[in-house]
Amino acid sequence: MSPAATEGADNTRDADEVIRECLDLDRPQSFFLYAGAGSGKTHSLVTAVSELKAREHKRLTFEGRQVAIITYTNAACEEIARRLEHDPLVVVSTIHSFSWRMIQGFNEDIREWLRIKLTEDIAELNDKLARARGDNKTSRANRASLESKTRRLAALGEVINFTYSPTGDNRGRQALNHAEVIQMAAAFIQRPPLLDVMADQHPVLLIDESQDTYGPLMDAFLSAQAQIPNRFCLGLLGDTMQRIYNDGKERLEDSIPGDWAVPEKPVNRRCPTRVVDLINVVRRAADDHQQTPRPDATRGAVRMFCTRQAAAGGFELEAQVALQMSVATGDPEWAAGASARKTLILEHKMAGRRLGFEGVFAPLYAAEHLRTSLLDGTLPVLRLFFDVLMPILEAANTSEFALMEAVRLRSPLLDAEHMKVAPNQFALLQQVDAACQTLCGLFVNNDPALADVVGVLAETGLLDIPDRLRAALIQGVTADEPPETADREALEVHAYRVVLGRRYSEMAAFAVYAKGLSPFDTHQGVKGLEFPRVMVILNDEEAGGFLFSYEKLLGVEPPSDNDLRNERAGKDNALSRTRRLLYVTCSRAEESLAIVVYTAQPEIARQRVIEAGWLTPEEVEII
């Protein structure tokens, strides 16, 4: 084991110093940085890369190589790139973007991978159809999926270049979807020639939030590093306690080779001492990593409010809690309204139910292959509404000039090339004006159905409409359950047909929430963020599902036998998943924290958290 690995492993040296020594192009040392909540992980990453650039600027430039950084969200990419001053020697990307950049151009390898995958899928569908009992919704959906995959397999030979866009509408027989790109990258990067291409282009690869990286892809990175340890530095940054996505690699720490450096940042620089104490107790059941508050940290405050009241349509009880927090903490901002605090809920659909957009969110979320682009706002249908239509409608409320300017920037009818070939530009302008009047007329004292809005756009050609949304419009609105099929196109079109039956106001409410303007967010969506006042809502009944259970974690309900077996075996289960989410949410608080528990047995919840040492009797109140 190298000196850096030895000294990093026993925590006797500063983590940043260990990482600095690891980032040596001549003697690379891979590492796994344990960085708990609020420990300054991003600062360490930026500092280490900045120092590497300063040392090796000429060499990296001459050799045409770049340091690669992978992080989880586009927002995180932008923040890290900004801190590194957008230096071309560093490429910062999401895992999807990085994966595509690696496999792009390997068209024959992509074709062969798809040929094998499609052949396997077709065989599976044929088997299902052979066992189907009569003609029903499921068999029809499987037949449609079979026909779609068969057509795609037959057309593979005609594709010259495969395409993909991490943020765009991946359509056409040459286009790959999100899952395919990730799976192919996992298959390709651990073997030549892509193994050598990756190391030659990026002698250093740093993966932020590594615990949430797609498991098979993380295995591929570990395999690649093991094959060429003297040419390739793999740096993993993160905290296994903050793994919140189910496809992340379980027990990543157990897969770290013995010759890696394992520095740790034990100081929580974000939270007050009372919150650090709480998250340490919560974490103790999972591993031995504990944090200390920064030397000048304030005491802060934590309160839990347990209630058997049913959650209403809004946040009435939470408003009452906020008033009580204002008194308990002496902080008047708690009583200044929802925008002065951050309220964290378990599921987006909980926000949708309370804020009025569940009707448009739920059908889109039900189509699993749409979730990534749905949650990061890059789904083309959302971009049509959020980034194109809504600015036009907002401009219409300002002035005629503002409306036409907004349309000019967004409508294909006023595109410069389209205007050049128009036989009569004045008539074209009249056409656009009439389309605007028709569109705006829908909203006069009215909350139109989305089908009516999209119908006007399709009829007038005022805006470009994604193909599958257009197909949904043609097929008509439905309230049926989605078909039981793996055919992505069928599921997507069905989801849009359901959405088209909802009102525009629901899409507008979703836009406010999705753009971060809402004072509410999900447990998963705030990792890496911090807020002065945090309110965490624990409500299993409202969240639904089986992946998480605060009732079990709090001791109100006994864990299942399966949970206990998995817990003993070190496997993921409802208890471990929920514990990690609670750790993530509570550790967002910079000053004070309120935890609101909706439970059928508030007295037992109070008793259990006190017995567990999470809170004192004075800190838990029953409403």
Residue extents of the structural domains in the chain: 3-103+186-265, 107-160, 273-346+523-622, 358-514
d(CA 555, CA 370): 35
Q: What is the pLDDT of residue 9?
A: 44
Q: What is the pLDDT of residue 4?
A: 41
Cis-peptide into 293, omega within 30 deg: no
Tokens of 86: 């957008």
Quote the pTM value.
0.78
Q: What is the pLDDT of residue 526?
A: 67
Distance of CA 225 to CAs 35, 71, 90, 221, Å? 22, 19, 20, 6
Same fold, 3-103+186-265 and 273-346+523-622: yes
Q: What is the pLDDT of residue 290?
A: 96
Q: Which residues contact 552 (CB under 8 A, 6 or more apart)?
A: 558, 559, 560, 563, 574, 575, 578
Q: What is the pLDDT of residue 307?
A: 93
Q: What is the pLDDT of residue 7?
A: 39
Residues of the chain with pLDDT under 70: 1-12, 137, 167-171, 311-314, 376, 517-528, 542-546
Q: What is the pLDDT of residue 249?
A: 87
Cα atoms found within 13 Å of the Cα of residue 259, Cβ hemisphere only: 11
Q: Are 469 and 454 in contact (CB under 8 A)?
A: yes
Q: What is the pLDDT of residue 353?
A: 80
Q: What is the CATH number of domain 3-103+186-265?
A: 3.40.50.300
Give the residue from 46, 19, 387 showing the smallest Cα distance to 233: 19
Q: Which residues contact 441 (CB under 8 A, 6 or more apart)?
A: none
Q: What is the pLDDT of residue 101?
A: 95
CATH fold for domain 273-346+523-622: Rossmann fold (3.40.50)
Distance of CA 167 to the CA centre of its chain: 13
